[in-house]
Amino acid sequence: KKKKERSLLEKGATITYRCLQCNVEEEIPEEVVQYFDLVDPGDPTMPPRFACEKCGGEMHPKEPWQNSLEDIF
């Protein structure tokens, strides 16, 4: 399992998020996204959401969401 965990949290890996209002894109470190997914008591099939720094809109992952933490546990 540790080998799988290392590959999931490669150093410097990011996930591209896009604002639903202004379409700005932001690279968020994968470890930050996974942390929020782990501590969020909500639906594990839904990605963590962030607020856009430019307009305050809701940001979602640009690519289809896959909760990679399920592979670790």
pLDDT in the model for residue 58: 96
User: Residue 15 in 3-state DSSP?
Assistant: strand
Domain span at residue 47 reads 14-61
Tell me: pLDDT of 4 over 60: no
Tell me: pLDDT of 73 over 80: no
Q: Measure the N-to-C terminal CA separation of the chain; round to a whole number of Å.
A: 8
User: Mean of the pLDDT values across residues 28-54?
Assistant: 87
pTM reported for the whole predicted model: 0.72
4, part of any domain:
no
38, part of any domain:
yes
How many structural domains does the chain have? 1
Give the residue among 37, 38, 64 at the shortest CA–CA distance from 49: 37
Backbone φ and ψ of 7, nearest 5°: -70, -30
7, containing H or E segment: helix 2-8
